[in-house]
Amino acid sequence: MAVICSTCGLPEDLCACGELAKDSAKIIVRLETRRFKKKGTMIEGLDPKMGNLEGVARELKARYACGGTAKEGYVFLQGDHRDTIKEALVGLGFAESAIELH
């Protein structure tokens, strides 16, 4: 028997909730300085209910060969990746018009 999505009511193989969340998200990318003047790229505005937040972080960490974490609606990557992060997020399915660089 097919598993039904609790959000849209469709079977999980036809569910489009993840794609809709990607299109409606307003993503803000900014540089953050942490302890000992270490720089990191903060990607905010991701839906924590997306369910694939850890997968997005894993793809970005593998692409940039850096460390990072995914927590409660944001992804933090070690290092300054603002120059190419927009292309990477568009490649993962996010709308280019929804990505704002600071």
Indicate whether 2 belongs to any domain: no
Across the chain, mean pLDDT equals 86
Q: Which domain holds residue 78?
A: 22-101
Indicate whether 8 belongs to any domain: no
Number of separate domains in the chain: 1
Residue 8 pLDDT level (bands cut at 50, 70, 90): confident
Q: Give the per-residue pLDDT at 89.
A: 92
Q: Which pLDDT tens digit goes with each residue over 29-38? A: 999 999 999 9
Indicate whether 6 belongs to any domain: no
d(CA 43, CA 40): 10
Indicate whether 38 belongs to any domain: yes
CATH code, domain with 45 = 3.30.780.10
What is the Cα 9 distance to its own chain's centre? 24
Q: Which pLDDT tens digit goes with each residue over 50-83? A: 668 898 999 999 999 999 999 988 999 999 999 9
pTM comes to 0.75
Indicate whether 90 belongs to any domain: yes
Is the Cβ–Cβ distance between 47 and 74 less than 8 Å? no
